Amino acid sequence: MTTDNADRIVRFEEVLSRTGLTRSTLYRKIAARTFPKQIAISARCRGWRESELNDWLHNPMSYEQEESPLASRTGGADARRTEYNEFDFDD
Protein backbone atom coordinates (compact mmCIF):
# COMPACT_ATOMS: atom_id res chain seq x y z
CA MET A 1 0.00 0.00 0.00
CA THR A 2 1.37 3.43 -0.86
CA THR A 3 1.55 6.22 1.67
CA ASP A 4 -0.47 8.49 -0.65
CA ASN A 5 -3.66 6.50 -0.06
CA ALA A 6 -5.72 6.88 3.08
CA ASP A 7 -5.98 3.72 5.15
CA ARG A 8 -9.43 2.15 4.81
CA ILE A 9 -11.23 1.02 7.98
CA VAL A 10 -12.39 -2.61 7.89
CA ARG A 11 -15.37 -3.64 10.01
CA PHE A 12 -15.82 -6.78 12.10
CA GLU A 13 -17.71 -9.01 9.63
CA GLU A 14 -15.20 -8.31 6.86
CA VAL A 15 -12.29 -9.11 9.20
CA LEU A 16 -13.88 -12.46 10.06
CA SER A 17 -14.51 -13.15 6.38
CA ARG A 18 -11.00 -12.23 5.24
CA THR A 19 -9.18 -14.04 8.05
CA GLY A 20 -11.35 -17.13 8.42
CA LEU A 21 -11.13 -16.74 12.21
CA THR A 22 -14.04 -17.23 14.57
CA ARG A 23 -15.19 -14.40 16.81
CA SER A 24 -13.71 -15.97 19.95
CA THR A 25 -10.38 -16.73 18.26
CA LEU A 26 -10.15 -13.17 16.99
CA TYR A 27 -10.69 -11.75 20.49
CA ARG A 28 -8.20 -14.23 21.95
CA LYS A 29 -5.57 -13.15 19.41
CA ILE A 30 -6.19 -9.46 20.15
CA ALA A 31 -5.73 -10.12 23.88
CA ALA A 32 -2.54 -12.08 23.16
CA ARG A 33 -1.31 -9.18 20.99
CA THR A 34 -0.99 -11.48 17.96
CA PHE A 35 -3.65 -9.64 15.94
CA PRO A 36 -3.99 -5.91 15.22
CA LYS A 37 -5.88 -3.88 17.79
CA GLN A 38 -9.19 -2.23 16.93
CA ILE A 39 -9.37 1.53 16.57
CA ALA A 40 -12.28 3.75 17.57
CA ILE A 41 -14.32 5.10 14.67
CA SER A 42 -16.92 6.72 16.93
CA ALA A 43 -18.16 6.32 20.49
CA ARG A 44 -19.71 2.89 19.82
CA CYS A 45 -18.04 1.82 16.59
CA ARG A 46 -14.68 0.15 16.05
CA GLY A 47 -12.73 -1.23 13.13
CA TRP A 48 -9.29 -2.20 11.92
CA ARG A 49 -6.87 -0.38 9.65
CA GLU A 50 -6.73 -2.32 6.40
CA SER A 51 -2.94 -1.96 6.22
CA GLU A 52 -2.55 -3.65 9.63
CA LEU A 53 -4.96 -6.41 8.63
CA ASN A 54 -3.01 -6.96 5.41
CA ASP A 55 0.25 -7.14 7.41
CA TRP A 56 -1.30 -9.85 9.58
CA LEU A 57 -2.65 -11.72 6.54
CA HIS A 58 0.78 -11.63 4.93
CA ASN A 59 2.38 -13.50 7.85
CA PRO A 60 -0.07 -14.43 10.64
CA MET A 61 2.30 -16.76 12.49
CA SER A 62 4.91 -14.12 13.26
CA TYR A 63 2.68 -11.06 13.77
CA GLU A 64 3.03 -9.37 17.15
CA GLN A 65 1.90 -5.91 18.19
CA GLU A 66 4.53 -3.51 19.37
CA GLU A 67 4.28 -2.46 23.01
CA SER A 68 2.75 0.96 23.42
CA PRO A 69 5.00 3.76 24.74
CA LEU A 70 2.71 4.18 27.77
CA ALA A 71 3.04 0.51 28.67
CA SER A 72 6.82 0.62 28.54
CA ARG A 73 6.99 3.73 30.77
CA THR A 74 4.70 2.27 33.43
CA GLY A 75 6.07 -1.24 33.46
CA GLY A 76 3.39 -2.72 31.22
CA ALA A 77 0.90 -4.22 33.67
CA ASP A 78 -0.58 -0.87 34.73
CA ALA A 79 -0.91 0.42 31.18
CA ARG A 80 -2.93 -2.40 29.62
CA ARG A 81 -5.30 -5.17 30.57
CA THR A 82 -4.35 -8.70 29.64
CA GLU A 83 -7.79 -10.28 29.85
CA TYR A 84 -10.76 -9.32 27.72
CA ASN A 85 -14.27 -10.55 27.20
CA GLU A 86 -16.68 -10.18 24.31
CA PHE A 87 -18.18 -7.02 25.83
CA ASP A 88 -14.86 -5.16 25.61
CA PHE A 89 -15.18 -4.96 21.83
CA ASP A 90 -17.86 -3.34 19.71
CA ASP A 91 -18.97 -5.02 16.49
Count of domains observed in the chain:
1
Q: Would you say residue 45 lies in a domain? A: yes
Q: Per-residue pLDDT tens for 8-66?
A: 999 999 999 999 999 999 999 999 999 999 999 999 999 999 999 999 999 999 888 77
State how beta strands 9-10 and 39-42 pair: unpaired
Q: Would you say residue 48 lies in a domain? A: yes
Q: Would you say residue 16 lies in a domain? A: yes
Q: Would you say residue 51 lies in a domain? A: yes
Full-model pTM: 0.65
Q: Would you say residue 75 lies in a domain? A: no
Q: Would you say residue 87 lies in a domain? A: no
Q: Would you say residue 82 lies in a domain? A: no
Residues 32, 35: Cα–Cα separation, whole Å: 8
